Chain A
Amino acid sequence: MFTDGFGHFVTGDSAAIAIAAKAVWNQRLESVMMRKRITTRLAVAAGLAALAITAISPALAVPSFARQTGQECIACHVSFPELTPYGRYFKLTGYTIGKTFVSSAGFNYVPLAVMAQASVTNTRNNHATDPDTGDTVTVNQRNNSAVFSAGSVFLATKVNDYVGGFIQWTYDNLATTANGTLGGHSGIDNTDLRAAGKYSSPGAAEPDLIYGLTLNNNPTSQDAWNSTPAFGFPYTASPLAQTPAAATQIDGGLAQQVAGAGGYLWWKKMVYGELSFYHTADGAFSILRSGQDIHTDGGVAAIQNWNNPYWRFALSHDWGANSVMVGTYGMIVNRYPSNFDPSTATDRYRDIAVDAQYQYITDPHTFTAQATYINERQSYNASYAAVKETGAGIGAGPTPENPTDTLKTFKLKGTYYRDRKYGGTLAYFSTTGSADGGLYGTDADGNARTPNSKGYIIELDYLPTQNVRLMLQYTGYNKFDGAKSNYDGNGRNAGDNNTAFFNVWVAF
């Protein structure tokens, strides 16, 4: 299983896959009842899938773009990676403002950028009970220790007046290995390549139409508003923290596993529409999932080629120092339960989301807010039939008890910055969904569990310079994987996963 490029474990698949994807320690925390539902095959997959976890590594302010434009980070970012109106224009016009790195005048700048993060994580209760042995085990293997978390290299540049993009490659120093220890792992991260143009009618004061094509490897990474998941808050999180198992497909469930191609129109900077189609990142697109685990059943997503439409519609308006957007986005994913067997029928995930963003950007005060609500309907056309017929899923695929389930996510955050230097953010998140014992296990009374989790994030930021961020983040859970208390059947409570995270984030 994977992260969404921001250090969050993500799924949207069955709980079996989700559990397989979680850090190895977490498997030990599952209740006995839950364990009974995990087949040996899944347990093996869990260990191997953990290899594919590429923890933190947000694609954010790309300093080579700053070198390209000659402008500072704050021209495009409120605080990286959140975009200003100008940043949205830069992205949607294909990253083509400024110079190419080589021109007739010679070599203009280095089209590479580097990013690194080092951090300390405190997990509130760092001890849990191993469901197999009854032993006390460590939850966070680097609790309260300073660690180098991850580093990224970006190739980011304008190619010509119509083409530009970025490719991020990330080394994760805290990836979970098959035997449960932490080790280094590298792979591709968010990637967005574009071709774009502008049309202005004679005498127009602004472009009437901006249009373009995008090729990317994470649905919503191509979006220009930070209310959508790929570049949504939190912009980075502890790679050592425990995170809820369930998330929707569009919320990172396909990140760095798929290739999406599509086109978009932005009319008078007011009306934005996009239609893209996604394909498993294999064959000619395999570079877009480089470093992911393609050798394990359950390691990567396999979806029906191009039969996975993604859409986006947004209305935006800027006035004074204000900028507002309301929109909707969504995706239909036809996913093979087992990435090893594309000959089977598929499960269908229909994600429909609404989102909104408000920004007030002045000197010295900046306030921004984003919200999104995602409603996923999971139709286990293939997996449910298999479970009913054989008592097991397809390969390492989901093992649902219900033919259909729902999974809903709500996220809201508000951020204030002074001088783009001192910032604070409050965020709320909630995931709710159908109870399904096949996906999420059962509690001690034999009742099917839900994927419900909710909590809050408080974050303080200090940017001594525009490309250095010191961050103190606290994530608190009121509910975790279905319960407030004893969610794992071994006495662990949601609040035990509360995480304090101090992070130093540098990009140059």
Chain B
Amino acid sequence: MKHIGMAIVGAVLAASVTAANAQNTAADIERQKAGEEKAVNLCSTCHGPRGISTSPEFPILAAQRRGYLEAQLEVFRAKTREEKIAHDFMWGIAGNLDDPMIDSVARYYAAQPPAPGKPGDPTLIAKGKQLFEQGVPGRGIPACANCHGADAAGVADFPRLAGQHAKYIVKQIEYIQALVRKAPVMHGIVKDMTPAEMQAVAAYVQSK
């Protein structure tokens, strides 16, 4: 009898867990759907279909790292990322997103196929490749690949740069260098970067 009773309890527990999992899955699907709707119906207006924007003023989001996307939406919402375009466009958009929506929008874009690289000036790209892969040891600029990955696809919460608009990359480096965008680690890395170096590394990652 004792064994039968334990079996019944076990079955009930198993059924409960299964049901709970099913509910979670349903909730997850619903949440994911909401994020996709938001991305398709709102974000795509500037960030393009599936996160591939055409205007270099708006970053490509396709295949971006999920953790990075979440973090950025959170700082937009908290109004602590303050460059002009963030202030003018994204504070309002992110201000209307709750945590589950941020999570699902980030998941949506992280799951999209990446934008193809764009060709550019080969000389500039070669310079950028060298900087990206080796940094400038003599001036204390480490290789970008250390954090952003050898293929610039991003690592963990370090953002993907591959395929990104060169103009957007340059502007962000400038903002970080000028402490307009607060990114202490990156500031230390780019603080001495020259405009020519910014252009070169941006052309390289855009081509990836």
Contact = CB atoms under 8 A, between A and B. Distances in A.
B118 to A, nearest CB: 11
A97 B40 contact: no
A18 B72 CA distance: 58
Interface residues of B, number: 25
Interface string B12-56: 000000000000000000000000010011101110011000111
Contacts of B55: 318, 320-321, 361-362
B54 A207 contact: no
A321 B56 contact: yes
The size bracket of the interface on A is 20 to 34
B91 A70 contact: yes
Interface in A321-371: 321, 361-363
Given A320-B56, A362-B57, A207 B92 contact: no
A75 B89 contact: yes
Interface string A65-102: 01001111011000000000110010000000111000
Interface stretch (A198-206, A216-224, A289-297): A198-206
A385 B45 CA distance: 54
B95 interface: yes
Nearest to A198: B41
A86 B88 contact: no
B174 to A, nearest CB: 11
Contacts, number: 64
B191 interface: no
Q: Please classify the interface of chain A as helix (H, G, I), strand (E, B), loop, or mixed, using the class held by over half of its residues.
A: loop
Given A319-B54, A320-B56, A72 B49 contact: no
Contact of A321 (B40, B57, B95): B57
A140 B49 CA distance: 54
B45 A89 contact: yes
Interface of B: 37, 40-42, 44-46, 49-50, 54-57, 84-85, 87-89, 91-93, 95-96, 167, 171
What 6 A-B pairs are tightest by C-beta distance, nearest first? A70-B92, A205-B49, A71-B92, A72-B88, A205-B50, A206-B49
24 contacts: A70-B91, A70-B93, A70-B95, A70-B96, A71-B92, A71-B93, A72-B87, A72-B89, A74-B88, A85-B45, A205-B44, A205-B50, A206-B40, A207-B44, A319-B54, A320-B56, A321-B55, A321-B56, A361-B55, A361-B57, A362-B55, A362-B57, A362-B167, A363-B171
